Structures are given as C-alpha cells and as structure tokens.
Structure 1
C-alpha cells in the first residue's frame, strides 16, 4: 500500500521528539491526568504478563468508548480468547478495571511514538486489533500493517464535522482507512462518510452502546440516598462542562420558587472540577456539598455535586429527570442511552452533533426533549417536576427506543468471526 510522505515525516518527527513526549507525560502526571504508578504503560512498557494463547487487543479512547466495548469483550472471553483492553484516560482505567470479565486485562494505550508501539506489540503480540469509533493513529496503524496484524474498526463513527475536515486531506485519511481490514459503523451515514473517504470494506453494525448494560449501583447505597432525599423534587445534570453549570444553577434558583426543597444534582464530566462546580453554586447563594468529600445531601442541600468516578448508575437511578451535559455548550452531547435504560426523562440542548442519531431517535419517540436555552430548560424541567405522569411517559418512550435499537453486538460478532477463526488457527492476514 502507498505510504504518503506526510506519514514518513510524522514517523520521523515523533521519533525525534520522543524526549518531548516524555516531558509531556510527566507534565500530565503532575496535572493529575496520568497515573504515576502506570506511566510506563504509556511508553509501551507492560505491567502485566501476556496470557498464553491468542490475544485480541480491544481499544477505546475514553470512558464511553471503552464501556461500549464491554459486551464484545465478554463475548470474546466466552470464546476462550484472552483480551487486552486499552484506553487513554485515568477515569476510564479506574472504571473499566472493576467491570472487566475474567480473561481480560487493562493497560493504558501507548502514545503514538514508533518505539513505544513496537515495544507494546513485541510484548502483547495481538492476533487481532479492534479499535472503537474514530481512533486512528498513524504510527499504530502503519506498524500493525507491517506486522500483518488485522485491524478492524468497531462501533465506527464519522461525524459530519470530522468528515468535512478530512475531505480537505483525502490522501491522508484514505491511506489510513485502506489499512483497516474492515470498518463496522454505527449508522448508514457513518458508513457513507467512511467509504467516501477511502475505507474499502464498510458494514453497518449499529451502535454498541445500545447493547451495553446500564451502569451498576450498589442497591444499599441507592436505598440509603433515596431515603435521604425522599419527598423532594430531584433532577440531575449529567456530564456537564464549563459554562453549563452556571446556567444550571440559575435554573435551580428559578425552579426553587415553584418547587420548594428542590435538589439539583450536578455530575461534572471531569470529576476533578467538583470544587469549581460547588463554588459556582455557593456564589449564587446556594448550599452545595460534594460527593467526593463523603458528604450526603441533607434537607438544607440545594446542589449536590456528584464528583466521583463510577457512580453515574447511582445518580441516574435517583433522578427521574436528566439533562445531558455537553449539549448546552458546544461540546456535541454525551451518550443519553444510560439514563434512558434506567428510566429517566431526558432533556438536552441544541449541541448534539457527537450523537445526533441517538438524540433524534429519542426526540422523535418523545423520550427526550430539546431545550434551546436556560429559559426553555427551566420551563421544561418545571413541567416535568409538576407532572409525574408526563415524566413517566417520556421515560418509558426513551427505554422502548433504546431497546428497539439494540442488536449491534450480535452483528459485530458475526462480522469479525472470520478474524476470530484466523486468530484461533494462528493465521495472520
């Protein structure tokens, strides 16, 4: 296959700049964005022994992508295959480690530096690589091709925004995509965009997130917190970003006039922002408490900041109304499937380009409602808080919608079956 000059230049630059990459990793570690005890994994040094037999490498960039792959990981381990799961963020690592089935291990993905990738592959020797969504790193893709290790994109996604950008560099993206043995996409639109950009083998398998189990929660903790907030109107703003919390706090103040004892739960997308979110509420004259400090909401708590990792299942179960973050700010919107599965009526802002198909399906089924600004958010939340029947109908519609859209795991497993057979036979593509 052709190797554009830009790829060769990128490989040389990432080799020459390796000392700067090491400095960047240590800077990120000081910022709390890398795990100090596992920093070597980002340089390709393994912290676990390679299992015997055939190994499938499964990669998801962050929490959402990695969790969506869990049903596939479980199916692979049930087939007697060992699975190496990699991700790139501390939060994803902490969460995934608690949910991996026997036969699967987690490592941080190495940075896309040639020596790191070679070191990683020398140790793990994967027979097949499954990469989620739109993770395409040139050195990794090229090195896998050089070693004749088949690479499959699963749960593939190509947003319209990314498509427009890549169209300006058709030779680059085309040379990367043609090295994928297969691309399995979430939707026909994703398939069309990837094929147009040069992916030679594309199939629509559906969105794996529809098949993922809802996030777990300890029933005892759910019962305890439910008792503490019993009788209070409650709503949750999930996976929020800077700029959104100010609007949510303003909405709380407006709602509290009509809904006394209102409890607003805010779960920032990045839990380390918990103190910042609490400060926003306190500056508005509200009493805030943080979950990370071990404080439970009492009757005087106005805003409860859910700034912990791995507890979204708990807060989705506590809140009959959920505003999805990343939709009021121009982030693109986070996955609304989990609250839909756990019985919540869903509100979202206009910025949904990262998950447009999901939101549009929920909106059409009246399982979710678009709010354009803080004023319309306050009106919608107030109506749902006042009308429990309406909230239950929306929640039921949302649950039915995500159930109807499931089946992606079966289709994905059927599509990668030839590669699994090759792996079991010890064959390399």
Structure 2
C-alpha cells in the first residue's frame, strides 16, 4: 500500500519540526529532574539493554495510561515469564508514578518522539515483537514504521472522541494507510468501538475498561494509622487530580465549609505536582493556612489545607477520607477514573465534564454511587451535606464499591489475546 500525499506531508512536517520538538521534550524532562541520558530516550537513545526473548512494547502516554496497564503487565509476566515487557511513557510524572510499581522484569523507558529518526533508533534497539498502544496514542509515523517492519499493533483500552473520529473520517485513504498495521483494538466504550469500526478496523471490540481493574491498594496499616494520628480526629475531605482553573473553586468551597466545620482539613492532590508553587500562591491568596507534603510537613500542624504534592500516595488519601472530589471535571480535561476511590470505599463527587469516562460515570450515577456538582459553590454545599450526614456518604461509598472489580478474568483474556497476536506473527513465547 502506497502512502497518501497527506501522510507524506505529515512526515515532511514532522521531520522539519523534530529539532524543535526534541529540544522542548528534553528540556521539559530535565526541568523535572530527569538525567540527560534518560531525557535523550525521547530521541530513541536507549539507556537499558534489550533482554533476550520475545518482547512486547507497551506505550501509555501519561500517568493514567501507564498506571492502568500495570495489573495487566503483572499478569502477563506471571503467565509467561519468558515474555519480556518494555513500558514507555512520555512524562516525568508518569515515570515517577510507575517506578515503584513496575512488575518484576518490566523495563521502563521514555517514549520516542513521532519522528523517523527517534523511532528507527528505538525500533532498531528494542526490536519489539508486538506494539501495544494504550488509549488514544495514534501517532502516524509510529504506526507506519511498525507496519513496515511487520510489527503487529494492538490498541488497548482505546478511546476515540467524536472530534478525533471526525478528523480521521475526513481523510479515509490516509486513515486506511496509517491504521493498516492494527491487528486488534480493545475499546473501553461502545462509542470508541463504533468509531474505529467506521474507520475500517473490523477487529475493534468493546471490552473491560482497564482502569476499572485495580491492583492491590498501596496502603499499609502503619501509613494509614500515622495519617489518622496526624489528623488528630479532625474531619477531612480530598480534592484529587485537580487541574488549573479547579483549585480556586475547591479552595473557595473549603473556605465556605470552614464556617460550619472550623477544624476541617482539605487534602489537595494536584494532578501534576510540579504545579505546587502556583497552587501554594492560590492557597495563601485565599487566606488559608497550608502545609506541604513534599516539604516534609504533616497534618499534625493543623493547617487548613494539606498540599499533597507527591506521587504514588493517592491510595492513602482515598483510604483516609470519607469524601473525595475528582478533578478534571470542572474543565474540559475529560474527567478522571472513579474506580480507584470506589475501591477505597469513599463517597465520590465530580463535576459535569467527564467525557473520557462517560459510560463509567453513567453506571455510577445509575447506582447512586456518585454525586455530580456544577461548580465550586455546589461542591461546598455537597461536601457540607455529606459531613453533616455521614450515613449518606457511607451509602454512596457502599454503592460505588461493587463497581470497582479486582478480578483477573478480564486480564487473562486480554493477555491471551496479546500473546496470540505474537504467535500469529511467528513468535514462540516458550522457545
């Protein structure tokens, strides 16, 4: 199949833009404290050796995508220890989030940019036998080069918005060319399945959302007891995975709540901890006292806001609080997964914007397992009601808990399908 003129134009533009994109990507990682050598992984320069044996390359762009595949990778390594797994992601926060959770034998690297130079260096070094792209990472050069090298591609937990699907459908010949190497698409919702089938991917199937399949919570009894002791009996609520434009509304809600609940503590968990300085300015500007987790402060200091600007501790905050507001839902970010707080048995509140998890939130609302609020004022009212009526918070939490499955059946089915794609491509995992 010959490349279309539009694809060739994209390749030319990506080649021209690569030096600028490379400088930006490397500098961003360096500013986040990543070493020079590791930052250059974005240019296709590996810092780890390829292990012997068949290798699956799994790519999840950011924190949520990378974390969502960890239970699957653990299961795959348990079922087939001889199969090697390379996990890539593009951000420093994602690397920090997955580092302590990587299953034995899984290697992490930063993903190559979508340019022919970085990709060819990456593919030459790692020689993957299967490429697995998580959620919505459809990069044309990556897809084309894998197809040219006969590396089968699977889309995992695929999500395709109406806008993205419309863009692809406007150029059907280019879509057919770019997507030709995709052997299987596991979709997290019906909408994405239908979009991909309309684009010619007959293998697209709706399956279990990976973000609903949770690994064991990373909370020890000692850590939870220490957090409870630090609170000293103060009431608490959590605002998690917040984005710019949301912290101001959350802080206004908290300030209003303090009138009736003067000892109330807000644990504020931004989606991107590197924004901590900006958020500290907002908190102090609101006239609220603050303690910062990354600076070594704990909740025993009695601050009105506890800024939890560290990675890998969200499970602790969920387990500690009876009420959680999930951010990314007052803005057009598209929402964040409700399954983790559901597993922690906490009442869930969220805003009206959750397109990325539309089917999940529909199920939660149908089961009376979450509350939707329109803005910061409504959030303050809802949190106040739940603090005053803890039995209602417990009811919401109880209704949500069954919606967060932790079984392995779905993981086994996905793993076997991925293994079969390798087998169809001539690989023998047990060689």
Tell me which interval the TM-score lies in, with the shorter structure as reference length: over 0.9
* Cα distance per residue 1:290-319 (max 9 Å; x no partner): 111010123531011111111111111111
Moved more, 299-308 or 362-371: 299-308
Residue 205 to residue 415, structure 1, CA distance change in 2 (3 Å): farther
User: Post-superposition shift, 1:265?
Assistant: 0.9
Distance in 1, matches of 2:210 and 2:304, equals 36
Kindly indicate whether the alpha-carbon contact (under 8 Å) linking 2:335 and 2:353 is maintained by their aligned counterparts in 1: yes
Unaligned runs of 5+ in 2: none
1:9 aligns with 2:20: no
Q: Distance in 2 between matches of 1:413 and 1:51?
A: 20
| Correspondence for 2:265 | 263
In structure 1, list runs of 5 or more residues that go unmatched.
Answer: none
Moved over 4 A (4+): 404-407
Q: Secondary structure at the match of 1:195?
A: helix
Q: Secondary structure at the match of 1:98?
A: helix
| 1:64 paired to 2:68 | no
What SS class does the counterpart of residue 236 from structure 1 fall into?
strand
Task: State whether residues 326 and 333 of structure 1, in contact with CA within 8 Å, keep that contact through their aligned partners in structure 2.
Answer: yes
* Contact 2:231/2:302 (<8 A) preserved: no
Distance of aligned partners of 1:69 and 1:424 in 2 relative to their CA distance in 1, 3 Å threshold: farther
Q: The residue matched to 2:300 in structure 1 has which SS?
A: coil
* Residues 241 and 326, structure 2, Cα contact 8 Å, conserved in 1: yes
Contact 1:332 1:351 survives alignment (8 Å): yes
Structure-2 residue corresponding to 1:38: 38
Q: How far apart, in 1, do the equivalents of 2:38 and 2:405 lie?
A: 38
Distance 1:223 1:101, change over 3 A: same
Cα distance in 1 for residues equivalent to 2:358 and 2:407: 14
Report if aligned partners of 1:237, 1:323 keep a CA contact under 8 Å in 2: yes
2:180 is the counterpart of 1:178:
yes
Alpha-carbon distance in 1 for matches of 2:363, 2:35: 38
Q: RMSD of the TM alignment (CA)?
A: 2.1
CA distance in 1, matches of 2:71, 2:26: 34
Separation of aligned partners in 2, 1:222 and 1:77: 30
The CA distance in 1 between the partners of 2:342 and 2:71, in whole Å, is 18
Which range moved further: 265-274 or 66-75? 66-75
Alignment correspondent of 1:21: 21
- The superposition leaves residues 308-345 of structure 1 with CA deviations (integer Å, 9 ceiling, x where unpaired) of 11111111111110000011122211111111111110
Partner Cα distance (2:217, 2:165) in 1? 31
CA distance in 1, matches of 2:166, 2:356: 14
Q: Is residue 2:87 matched to residue 1:85?
A: yes
Matched residues, number: 427
CA distance in 1, matches of 2:37, 2:234: 43
User: Greater shift after overlay, 227-236 or 8-17?
Assistant: 8-17
Residue 336 in 1 paired to residue 326 in 2? no
CA distance in 2, matches of 1:166, 1:188: 18
Cα pair distance change 1:407/1:172, threshold 3 Å: farther
Give the 3 Å change call, closer, same or farther, for CA 323–341 of structure 1 in structure 2: same
Closer, same or farther in 2 for the Cα pair 1:128/1:320, shift >3 Å? Answer: same
Q: Choose the corresponding residue for 1:209, options 198, 208, 211.
A: 211
Q: Secondary structure of the residue that 1:45 maps to in structure 2?
A: coil
> Which stretch of structure 1 is more off in the superposition, 33-42 or 75-84?
33-42
Tell me the secondary structure at the aligned position of residue 181 of structure 1.
strand
CA deviations on 1:120-154 (whole Å, 9 max, x unpaired) are 11111111111111111111111111111111111
Counterpart-to-counterpart distance in 1, 2:407 and 2:364: 11
Match of 1:50 in 2: 50
Question: If the length of structure 1 is used for normalisation, what is the TM-score?
Answer: 0.94
Moved more, 141-150 or 8-17: 8-17
The answer to whether the aligner puts 1:140 opposite 2:142 as a matched pair is: yes
Q: Does the Cα contact within 8 Å between 1:207 and 1:408 map onto a contact in 2?
A: no
C-alpha distance in 2, partners of 1:405/1:198? 32
* Cross-structure match for 2:120: 118
- Cα 1:164–1:407 change in 2 (3 A) is farther
- The answer to whether the 8 A contact 1:264-1:302 is kept is yes
CA 1:347–1:266: 2 relative to 1, 3 Å: same
Contact kept? 2:159, 2:356, Cα under 8 Å: no
**1:98 aligned residue:** 100
Match of 1:316 in 2: 318
How far is the alpha carbon of 1:17 from its aligned partner? Answer: 3.9
Compared CA separation, residues 252 and 178, structure 1 to 2 (3 A): same
Q: Distance in 2 between matches of 1:70 and 1:230?
A: 35
Task: Sort the Cα spacing of 1:83 and 1:205 in 2 relative to 1 into closer, same or farther, 3 A.
Answer: same
In structure 1, the residue corresponding to 2:334 is in which secondary structure? Answer: coil
Confirm or deny: 8 A CA contact 1:110 1:117 kept in the other structure.
Answer: yes
2 CA distance for matches of 1:99 and 1:146? 33
Cα pair distance change 1:48/1:357, threshold 3 Å: same
CA contact (8 A) 2:369 2:397 kept: yes
* CA distance in structure 1 between the partners assigned to 2:296 and 2:25 by the alignment: 31
Q: CA deviation at 1:404?
A: 9.1
Q: 1:250-278: CA deviations, max 9, x gaps?
A: 11111111112010111111101112212
Report SS of the residue matched to 1:298.
Answer: helix
